[in-house]
Structure 1
Amino acid sequence: MATVTAYSATAPSRSEVDAFAGPTVLEFGTNWCGYCQGAQASIAEAFVAHPDIRHLKIEDGPGRPLGRSFKVKLWPTLIFLRDGAEVARVVRPTGAQEISQAFTLL
């Protein structure tokens, strides 16, 4: 089984995210969050069919400006972006299917 990548404490600025070209998925959560840990298998399964899509795992919490700018309330939250604009959002996924559906909007 592959090792799960940890959420990064460093995040791009909102202006950098807004300038991203092409498809991107931002995943907000924390390494200690039980919901985040429980969703990792489904997230990994959904990404198998999309290995070329940029996936940034960003640690979120109070005082984290990027998560606040996207109004993230629950973890994990996956935000699907096309050219820096949000096209879909999946909050606390319970299976790979709902994540895969969001990929169709990219």
Structure 2
Amino acid sequence: MATSLQLCQRQLTMVIDFSASWCGPCKFMEPVLNAMAAKFTDVQFVKLDVDELPDVAQEFGVQGMPTFVLLKKGKEVDRVVGAQKNDLEKKIEKHRALVAAA
């Protein structure tokens, strides 16, 4: 079975959604992320609850929710803090375009 790091390294572009069940802005972003996942089928979206996985949140330096970390081949290339759906979508499109151009 592949580890999560191996999966991150294989996947070209991944968005990790650091959220919490009690976080109002996180709940607001949930349907937005579902729509983005349907739109950007070449991007993997992963949701992590900071209360269930505090070590992972700490490893990524997450201080507020929601935080969206964009990874390419396992390396962080960008992040969005807060319920900034337009900013998140622009950054996803930017990094997808860079993959297509490579």
TM over 0.5: yes
User: What does 1:75-86 align with in structure 2 at a 5 Å threshold?
Assistant: 75-86=65-76
Aligned residues: 92
Match of 1:73 among 63, 67, 89: 63
Task: Name 2:77's counterpart in structure 1.
Answer: 87
Cα distance 1:41–1:63, how it changes in 2: closer, same or farther (>3 A)? closer
- CA pair 69-42 structure 1, distance change in 2 beyond 3 A: same
Match of 2:43 among 53, 60, 67: 53
Alignment check: 8 A CA contact 2:26 2:83 kept: no
Whole-Å Cα distance in 1 between the matches of residues 29 and 13 of structure 2? 21
Q: TM-score, normalised by structure 1?
A: 0.72
Runs of 4+ in structure 1 over 4 Å off:
none
Higher share of residues assigned helix: 2
Aligned to 1:102: 91
The root-mean-square deviation of aligned C-alpha atoms, in Å, is 2.4
Name the CA distance, whole Å, in 1 between partners of 2:77 and 2:45.
15
Q: How many angstroms apart in 1 are the aligned matches of 2:6 and 2:19?
A: 17
Match of 2:30 in 1: 40
Name stretches of at least 5 consecutive residues in structure 1 with no aligned partner: 1-11
CA shift digits 1:47-89 (9 cap, x unpaired): 3320231111001039711110110011111100000111110
SS in 1 for 2:64: coil
The equivalent residue for 1:9 is none
Letter in 1 for 2:49: E
TM-score (norm 2): 0.74
Q: Is the 8 A contact 1:77 1:91 kept in 2?
A: yes
